[in-house]
Structure 1
Amino acid sequence: MAGLISVLLLASAPAYSDGIPPSEIASSNDALAAPMLSDQAVPDRPVSIVNTEILVIVPAPDAAVALVLLPATPIEATPLAATSHLAPDEMTTPVQQVEPMQPAAAASPEAGVIVVTGQIRTPGDPLQNINVESYAIAQAIDAAVVAPTADAYEKAVPEPIRNGLRNFANNLHEPAVFVNFLLQLKPGKAAETAGRFIINSTIGVVGLFDIARRKPINLPQRKNGFADTLGCYGVKPGAFLFLPIVGATSVRDLIGGGLDGFLLPHFAGKPFNQLAFTVPTGVARELDKRVEFDEDLEKVQNSDDPYVAAREYYLQKRQAQIDGLCGKKDMDADDQE
């Protein structure tokens, strides 16, 4: 709507004088509407338009739309005689000049200005206002708690131990990866995932060491989940969400992640379904991810619009992961997260 200015005259009570019937006023108004298009003589009785309001629609600097309602000054309009074949200096009836309206921004609150503004929503983000607030809260918590804790975790815990905890968490997710490769009709990758899980759970000491990816075995780690399976079968991400604790996600990824989390605890049993296990391992996993993606997060936070940058980064990354899993483009196994 940039550059568009529309003016609507809403005449609430047109007044007429000299006892002219409404029918004649209507015909006079019709003649006023197009004086330059007819040779027919027009009645020379003046018509006053009063109690008129002007609605101005102007673009706001931030792409919002401002609606401004202004009381208009009564305008005396004098009908013209037929002028379609007359030069300007031969007009028989003078025309009253009306000054153009000044921009609505010049109106003051004392003049009875009503301004309505709004923010254009982004497709795919219908909850943008809520998400922006949630993102701001999350960033405040991250700056006050999460980032300092992750920094302390990185400095206090040696890298080999952090790698071991990461391998352990990844190994716990391998059963879900196996199931989803089967659902995606990829038995070869499902067999590789099963082999990784068996090797790392035994020789790799319950997954603390990723022996399966080393030579001569060479079974790379691949990320997969129910959200990826839904994406491979054409399910769109749905509304973008930024939730406390969870962070950036979508309706599809939230549902798929819930199914992933349901699989291991309910099929493996203790201790995987007990809070004493799930809470500390979950905290360690999130701190490790915070350390791993710290550089990307810093780029997002330093952008012109951090929320939009975070949203686009997440959605593009997830689409690239699904495209790689579904064979729409090549992707290294280790680049899927």
Structure 2
Amino acid sequence: MITPLVVPAVLLASPADLPLPNDATVEVGQLPAGTLAAAQTPPVVVVPLPPVVPFVDPAQAANQVPAAPAAEGDLDDFGADSVQVDKDPLEGFNRAMFGVYRAMDKVLWRPLAMGYKTVVPKPVRSGARNALSNLTEPYIFVNFLLQGKPGKAAETFARFVINSTLGIGGLIDVAKTKDFKLPHRPNGFGATLALHGVKAGPYLFVPFVGPTTFRDVLGDTADGSFLPLVVGKPFSTWKYQIVTGVVDGLDMRAEADAELRTLFADAIDPYATLRAVYLQNRAAEIEEVRGRHRAKKVDAAPELDEPLDDPAGSPKASDTPPSPPSDAPELQDPMKDPATN
């Protein structure tokens, strides 16, 4: 959202045009002979001007809702996850890469993703998605330990064992059912770095990777290298990396198609819109891992019938007695004088 800035006009007056007070005196020091006649210019007196108060439209002021003060404890202890979309030092590079992505997505990536969604049956796509998600549980388990959350780590380990056995290698997400109640909890090394005070760094957009930050580039690299380094083959082979990367990328693009179309439909600046949405959602994910639940997605703000009414302090409509009917004529024009009717 672009907030218009109203700059009040300031009238500047020349010092020679400013009247002197009646009792103002000017002391003239000793001047050399012959120079007093040349000093005919009146002395400059600096008169402090009163502060300029900008004009505020009462109608606009009535419609503005004052921002709620930040509650104690809501601020980021580590200063790592504040959403500052105005600080984008690599914006030129990012916008160029975003343009490349939009062009490739239009002619190649989206058609392939929608074709994948059309040709491959939904149970097969869901099974592949569950199996790839199940392979992320080992490094999620390790990150919960690094974050000092042994309870969440134990739940993640139990989820991995249940889905790997009862879920046939993770093809079926059995752990999230009501019998076990172990949902998937996204986590990674990027969140671990955030909880330990590492700042996000500049925003970055890379084709086939999407929006990210320098911290998450490091975190995603560490997460993706966990199974190849710990287990080895087949996770370390380039064939496995390419196949799983393509399948996961096509599935994610197909599932996000409706959201992306809605996001870019009415966006004046699609790049800035995607950047703001990503940074806000990423900050919410960090807070979710941290356990504060501070930044949550809000679908729509409640509509206020009267902008000047306090929703917390106003009585309910049912508690307020009905006002008696008034005999005063209804004013059609608010600027019209009732006495002239």
TM above 0.5: yes
Aligned to 1:270: 233
Aligned to 2:151: 188
C-alpha displacement at 1:257, in angstroms? 0.4
Which structure exhibits the higher relative contact order, with contacts defined as CA atoms closer than 8 Å and separated by 6 or more residues?
Answer: 2
* Unaligned 5+ runs, structure 2: 21-25, 29-35, 45-83, 297-341
Count of aligned positions: 236
Counterpart contact for 1:178–1:190, Cα < 8 Å: yes
C-alpha displacement at 1:273, in angstroms? 0.8
Aligned partners of 1:252 and 1:270: how far apart in 2? 28
Aligned to 2:191: 228
Counterpart contact for 2:188–2:219, Cα < 8 Å: yes
C-alpha displacement at 1:5, in angstroms? 10
Aligned partners of 2:277 and 2:150: how far apart in 1? 31
Aligned to 1:198: 161
Identity of aligned residues (%): 42
RMSD: 3.0
Is residue 290 of structure 2 the alignment partner of residue 326 of structure 1? yes
SS in 2 for 1:269: coil
Aligned to 1:252: 215
Aligned to 2:92: 129
Aligned to 2:275: 311
Counterpart contact for 2:229–2:236, Cα < 8 Å: yes
Structure with the largest fraction of helix: 1
C-alpha displacement at 1:203, in angstroms? 2.0
SS in 2 for 1:277: helix
With the length of structure 2 as denominator, give the TM-score of the two structures.
0.63
Aligned partners of 1:244 and 1:188: how far apart in 2? 37
Structure with the largest fraction of strand: 1
2:139 to 169, 176, 179: 176
Paired AA for residue 126 in structure 1: P
1:219 to 182, 207, 225: 182
Paired AA for residue 115 in structure 2: A
With the length of structure 1 as denominator, give the TM-score of the two structures.
0.63
The correspondence of residues 71-82 of structure 1 with structure 2, limited to 5 A, is 82=42
Aligned to 1:73: none
1:237 to 193, 200, 211: 200
Paired AA for residue 323 in structure 1: E
Provide, for residues 107-158 of structure 1, a one-character-per-residue CA deviation record: whole Å limited to 9, x for no partner: xxxxxxxxxxxxxx96431111111111111111111111111111111111
Aligned to 1:161: 124
Counterpart contact for 1:201–1:207, Cα < 8 Å: yes
1:143 to 102, 106, 111: 106
Provide, for residues 218-266 of structure 1, a one-character-per-residue CA deviation record: whole Å limited to 9, x for no partner: 2111111000111222322110000122110001111100100110111
Counterpart contact for 2:264–2:270, Cα < 8 Å: yes
Paired AA for residue 316 in structure 1: Q
Counterpart contact for 1:42–1:82, Cα < 8 Å: no
C-alpha displacement at 1:4, in angstroms? 9.2
Q: In the superposition, relative to structure 1, how do residues 315 and 122 fare at CA in structure 2: closer, same or farther (>3 Å)?
A: closer
SS in 2 for 1:219: coil
Q: In the superposition, relative to structure 1, how do residues 169 and 39 fare at CA in structure 2: closer, same or farther (>3 Å)?
A: same
Paired AA for residue 188 in structure 1: G
* Unaligned 5+ runs, structure 1: 7-31, 45-79, 85-120, 333-337
Paired AA for residue 198 in structure 2: V
Aligned partners of 1:300 and 1:126: how far apart in 2? 24
